[in-house]
Amino acid sequence: MSEKLEKLNQLPRETAEVDFLNCCGSHRWARLMTEARPFANIVELIKQAEQIWLKLESQDWLEAFAAHPKIGARQAASKQRAQSAKWSHSEQSGTHAANDSILDALAEANRLYEEKFGYIFIVCATGKSAEEMLAVCQQRLNNIADAELRIAVEEQRKITEIRLRKLLEVGN
């Protein structure tokens, strides 16, 4: 077991919940993850995180989505914690060098998406350029609400897994 995982297993409840909230903005998910401790290894942690996530209700998923900044936004989401904001900035690095026309198009696509679905566009941005994220958003605008929610839930699951791995990195 890694030293970081051992520490996470032993943290006081409130501290562990904050660490989990940095990975996923659903309070219910963070609470259930805290209660699921101890984890024997990272594989068990990731598996439990996914199982808990997929059993949540739509309001829990929407709470997690609201803890993200919009793709291409220059500031953190209002409900976002400092560590989560730092990770979001890094995850969205593909937008940092984007020109104004791409950022404007992303802002418009974000607006249309939120207008249609009622929540912000969620995509696992790690490794994607601004142009790729724009194309994904524009394509997903064609989805029906139920299908899109399932896609957004899966994208959040991917983001959460990446963040859980970051949480356990040395020097984090």
Cβ contacts of 9 within 8 Å, gap of 6 or more: 37, 38, 39
**What is the rounded CA–CA span in Å between residue 81 and residue 69?**
11
Please report the sign of the dihedral spanned by the C-alpha atoms of residue 27, residue 22, residue 56, residue 134: positive
- The residue-averaged pLDDT of 103-129 equals 95
User: Which pLDDT value is given to residue 123?
Assistant: 96
Is residue 48 within 8 A of residue 57, CB to CB? The reply is no
- CATH architecture of the domain formed by 3-167: Orthogonal Bundle (1.10)
Q: What is the DSSP letter of 94?
A: G
User: Which pLDDT value is given to residue 125?
Assistant: 92
Q: Give residue 78's Cα distance to chain centre.
A: 15
Please report the sign of the dihedral spanned by the C-alpha atoms of residue 87, residue 91, residue 94, residue 99: negative
User: Which pLDDT value is given to residue 80?
Assistant: 52
CB atoms within 10 A of CB 161: 19
User: Which pLDDT value is given to residue 96?
Assistant: 77
**What is the rounded CA–CA span in Å between residue 39 and residue 76?**
31
b/e map of 39-62 (b: 16 or more CB within 10 Å)? beebeebbebbeebbeebeeebbb
Is residue 135 within 8 A of residue 167, CB to CB? The reply is no
- The residue-averaged pLDDT of 22-40 equals 97
Residues identified as active-site: 68
**With bands split at pLDDT 50, 70 and 90, how would you rate the model's confidence at 172?**
very low
User: Which pLDDT value is given to residue 25?
Assistant: 95
Phi, psi of 141 (to 5 degrees): -60, -20
Determine if the pTM surpasses 0.85: yes
Distances from the Cα of 126 to the Cα of 5, 51, 77, 122, 159, angstroms:
23, 22, 18, 12, 8
Q: What is the mean pLDDT of the chain?
A: 90
Per-residue pLDDT reduced to its tens digit, 57-100: 999 999 999 998 888 876 655 555 677 667 766 777 667 778 89
Asked if pLDDT for residue 144 goes beyond 50, the answer is: yes
